[in-house]
């Protein structure tokens, strides 16, 4: 029924001390099941991070219950929930689990804590900072780096003008990216952003632990909150999301291209090679021609229609993965993306 599509997807996180993650996990799972919510929730001793979808009635009840949970009292507030149109159909199922970190950076929270985070800027403050940065950058005299903390396939379809977008495939490569490019951040003011703000909490703490930057700022509420206030601001393109929608849009901009013919295109599909989990931008007319894989190696596999025993898993290993250096080294002046609109 069409009516069942009229729901929403919530994105939120809360850093707080969780004495009994297993107990919180069980409670959370029961709550989501009771409200017929689908999605993913990560629980750890450092807090909770979730993205869940369901009917509007269910999501608003969920927020109410979360805000009244004693663990999150006075830490989590209504503002911390980012919502977008969607519903339970946006996720294949419900997954609630206990992890070491609520965002997988691969660094023990005891070593780099969310408590050492950068300075939070509201969307308005961030907007002003970016505006100032862009006007300085055109005169070639900026002491600021606008850093996208997300993965390459996220920034490819949407990013802030003039940002530095690391060519990394996983957030767990971010610390090495910082280590390998320390020179780049020396004495700089860093403006960081990510989807909902959570990667910046740990990412900024990691960057600050290196003691090379002048200041580290981060966008509170992430791109999500920024777009609510500035749908036509300095963020161009779509916002990548980790569910079956792949992207949400605030303006009609398309900034990326079809991998095969170069026509403007920003709607991802999974690579058609059975075991590959890469996303590919391939436009409808290239799809019709059967160009549906992320790289020539995978395309070959598709054509051979893998007659191999399905016992073999070829997950994530293809030309694209092998060709991309795991951690790119930036050449002294950061590879700035086009600062023009």
Among residues of the chain, what percentage have pLDDT more than 70? 89
Between these two residues, 102 and 114, which has the higher pLDDT value?
Answer: 102
> Please, are residues 38 and 88 in contact by the beta-carbon 8 Å criterion?
yes
Return the ∠ at Cα 143 (arms to 104 and 217), rounded to 5°: 35
- Alpha carbons 37 and 7: distance in angstroms, whole number: 10
On the question of pLDDT at 97 being above 50, the answer is yes
Would you state the pLDDT for residue 312?
52
116 — pLDDT class (breaks 50, 70, 90): very high
The pLDDT tens digits of the residues spanning 16-46 come to: 999 999 999 999 999 999 999 999 999 999 9
Out of 151-165, 259-273, 316-330, which region has the weakest mean confidence (pLDDT)?
Answer: 316-330
Q: Which run of H or of E encompasses 48?
A: strand 47-55
User: Hey, what domains does the chain have and what are their CATH numbers?
Assistant: 8-98 (3.30.70.100), 119-246 (3.40.250.10), 257-305+314-323 (no CATH)
The tokens 């339970």 sit on which residue? Answer: 88
Query: What is the rounded average pLDDT for all residues in the chain?
Result: 89
Residue 4 DSSP label: G
pLDDT of amino acid 334: 46
What b/e readout covers 62-89, taking b as 16+ CB neighbours within 10 angstroms? Answer: bbeebeeeebbeeebeeebbbbbebbbb
Give the max Cα distance, the chain.
59
Average pLDDT over residues 116-130: 97
What's the pLDDT score for residue 316?
54
Within its chain, how far is the Cα of 5 from the centroid?
24
Which residue in 278, 234, 287, 282 sits closest to 257, CA to CA? Answer: 282
pLDDT at residue 4, rounded to an integer: 43
Residue 52 CA: distances (Å) to CA of 40, 239, 242, 243, 247: 6, 17, 11, 10, 15
Residue 1 confidence (pLDDT): 35
Residue 339 confidence class, pLDDT cut points 50, 70, 90:
very low
221 Cβ contact partners less than 8 Å away, ≥ 6 residues apart? 79, 80, 82, 123, 196, 197
Using the Cα atoms of residue 134, residue 137, residue 143 and residue 144 in order, give the sign of their dihedral: positive
pLDDT at 2: 40
Report, as residue numbers or ranges, the catalytic residues: 194
**Cα–Cα distance, 68 to 63 (Å, whole number):** 9
The encoded tokens of residue 115 equal 């408590």
User: Average pLDDT in the 310-314 region?
Assistant: 50
The pLDDT of residue 337 is above 90: no
Give the pLDDT confidence score for residue 3 in this predicted structure. 42
- d(CA 299, CA 282) in angstroms, rounded, equals 12
Residue 301 has pLDDT above 80, yes or no: no
Q: Token pair for residue 207? A: 């960057």
* pLDDT at residue 278, as a whole number: 86
């Amino acid at each position: 029924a069409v009516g069942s599509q009229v729901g929403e997807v919530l994105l939120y996180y809360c850093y707080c001390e969780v004495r009994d993650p297993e107990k919180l996990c069980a409670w959370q799972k029961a709550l989501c099941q009771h409200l017929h919510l689908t999605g993913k929730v990560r629980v750890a001793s450092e807090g909770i991070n979730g993205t869940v979808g369901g009917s509007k009635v269910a999501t608003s009840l969920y927020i109410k219950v979360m805000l009244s949970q004693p663990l999150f009292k006075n830490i989590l507030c209504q503002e911390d929930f980012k919502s977008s149109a969607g519903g339970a159909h946006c996720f294949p199922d419900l997954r609630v689990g206990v992890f070491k970190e609520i965002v997988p950076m691969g660094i023990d929270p005891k070593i780099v804590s969310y408590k050492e985070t950068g300075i939070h800027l509201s969307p308005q403050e961030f907007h002003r900072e970016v505006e100032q940065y862009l006007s300085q950058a055109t005169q070639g005299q900026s002491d600021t780096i606008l850093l996208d903390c997300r993965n390459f396939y996220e920034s490819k379809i949407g990013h802030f003008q003039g940002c530095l977008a690391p060519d990394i495939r996983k957030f767990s490569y971010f610390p090495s990216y910082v280590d390998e490019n320390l020179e780049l951040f020396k004495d700089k003011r860093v403006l960081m952003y990510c989807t909902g703000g959570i990667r910046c909490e740990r990412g900024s703490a990691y960057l600050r632990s290196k003691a090379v930057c002048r200041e580290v700022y981060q966008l509170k509420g992430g791109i999500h909150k920024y777009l609510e206030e500035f749908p036509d601001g300095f963020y161009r393109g779509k916002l990548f999301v980790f569910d079956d929608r792949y992207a949400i849009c605030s303006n009609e901009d398309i900034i990326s291209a079809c991998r095969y013919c170069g026509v403007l295109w920003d709607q991802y599909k999974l690579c058609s090679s059975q075991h590959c989990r890469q996303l590919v931008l391939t436009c409808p007319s290239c799809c019709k021609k059967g160009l549906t894989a992320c790289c020539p190696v995978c395309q070959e596999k598709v054509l051979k229609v893998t007659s191999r025993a399905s016992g073999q898993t070829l997950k994530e290993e293809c030309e694209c993965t092998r060709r991309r250096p795991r951690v790119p080294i930036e050449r002294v002046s950061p590879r700035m993306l086009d600062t023009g609109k």
